Amino acid sequence: MARKFLYIVAFLITLVIAAMFALNIWSNELSRFAFVPKSTFAAQPALAAQSYTDPAMWLSRPGLGANDPAHWQPAYAKGSTAPAGATARATAPYAVFFIHPTSYLDTAAWNAPLDNAESRDRARLFVRAMASPFAQGAQVWAPRYRQAAFGAFLTDKPDGQKALDAAYGDVSQAFDQFLAEAPSDSPLVLVGHSQGARHLMHLLQDRLAGSPLARRVAAAYVIGWPISLEHDLPKLGLPACTGAQQAGCVMSWSSYAEPADPRMVLDIWRKAVALDGQPHGNGAILCTNPLTGTQNGSAPASANLGTLKPNEAFTSGELVPAAVPARCDKAGLLLIGDPPEMGGYVLPGNNYHVYDVPLFWANVKADVARRVGAWKAAP
């Protein structure tokens, strides 16, 4: 009986190892099978002209009060204290336009319906974790939009591009309302993560590059979406942030623990068309180190003012100082060393995409204060 039990245990262990081996090899293919919609893209009607005058179309905006997730502020973990620099605050008022990442994981449609409660609630959690470091003394505007489904990023089908273009139409319309209502004399901080970062790149190219509006930008945080130094950055109308005290520039990073395997993201991205109409190719990607506020370089964990470590439900969290280092590699990925324990949302390839902002929450908060101050002090 004991021998039979050991055989069963050995068989189960072998089965688990085989499953993990298969997942490691075919994780990209399995992800595409699980998340890419099987239906054909169906065009959506444009939103009514005044849709974004309705507060219900915003996850965050002035006037929402206690229901505004962007204004949540985490505390430091028990036994920890805020390091020097972590309490920096912006000395001038500013307005934030925040475009949330993909929260629609369903495969029923290529674009999320606005009445999908699950994706809306997940988007609120993302705003809570990712928009909150930008919210100190600021107006934060975070629109709801008919985002492209997660699977749109895992395929080279034309349907995926059509879904992204449709989502961008909503974002552009929301940006018009943001400009109409935000104070006209305040600096702008523009933020997008993942899908939101892609839409922000197009806003920068279409609406700000070469226009007087670009002079109002204290910083643009294009996070979790690769920016080609050759094919994308010159079209954004703003330079890369090379110094911590610089205003009117672009920051971007994509976080991976080591060993990093970015193939699931980069294989499709390198073939995709960049802002200049050419394929992205194999050139370098913009990497800003959020621990230093400079392009490229490395910083030890001691430079990390506070990582927002979420609870299991991702509904709250606490700040842990000196938890994670960061260094930009030659390709432009932001490497964070050994995989930190952040929760169950790490993507294949040690991709800490969901945690791009929480990993460096307190440093991002200090960074935006510096850049708004630099903008205010500039001629």
Q: pTM for the complete prediction? A: 0.90
CA dist 286 and 301 (Å) reads: 21
CA dist 26 and 130 (Å) reads: 30
User: Which single residue is written with the structure tokens 């970062």?
Assistant: 197
Which pLDDT does position 66 carry in this prediction?
86
- Using one digit for the tens of pLDDT, what is the confidence trace for 170-201? 999 999 999 999 999 899 999 999 999 999 99
Which pLDDT does position 329 carry in this prediction?
96
Buried b (16+ CB within 10 A) or exposed e, 260-270: bbbebbbebbb
* Residue 237 CA: distances (Å) to CA of 2, 41, 178: 71, 32, 20
**Two structure tokens written together for 137:** 């003394």
User: Which single residue is written with the structure tokens 């993560």?
Assistant: 193
Which pLDDT does position 203 carry in this prediction?
98
CA dihedral 36→37→40→42, nearest 10 degrees, is -110
Which pLDDT does position 17 carry in this prediction?
34
Sign of the torsion formed by the C-alpha atoms of 50, 190, 329 and 354: negative
- Using one digit for the tens of pLDDT, what is the confidence trace for 261-298? 999 889 889 999 999 999 999 999 999 999 999 999 99
The full set of domain ranges for the chain reads 36-377
What residues contact residue 379 under an 8 Å CB cut-off, 6+ apart?
none
Which pLDDT does position 58 carry in this prediction?
98
Which portions of the chain are predicted below pLDDT 50? 1-27, 30, 33
CA dist 211 and 207 (Å) reads: 7
- Using H for helix, E for strand and C for coil, what is the string for the chain? CHHHHHHHHHHHHHHHHHHHHHHHHHHHHHHHHHHCCCCCCCCCCCCCCCHHHCHHHEEECCCCHHHCHHHCCCEECCCCCCCCCCCCCCCCCEEEEEECCCCCCCCCCCECCCCCHHHHHHHHHHHHHHCHHHCCCEEEEEECCCCECHHHHCCCCHHHHHHHHHHHHHHHHHHHHHHHHCCCCCCEEEEEECHHHHHHHHHHHHHHCCCHHHHHEEEEEEECCCCECCCCHHHCCCCECCCCCCCCEEECCCEECCCCCCHHHHHHHHHCECCCCCECCCCCECCEECCCCEECCEECHHHCCCEEEECCCCCCEEEECCCCCEEECCCCCEECCCCCCCCCCCECCCECHHHCCHHHHHHHHHHHHHHHHHHHHCC
- Using one digit for the tens of pLDDT, what is the confidence trace for 31-54? 554 678 888 888 889 999 999 999
Which pLDDT does position 55 carry in this prediction?
96
Which pLDDT does position 31 carry in this prediction?
53
CA dist 200 and 248 (Å) reads: 15
Which pLDDT does position 32 carry in this prediction?
53
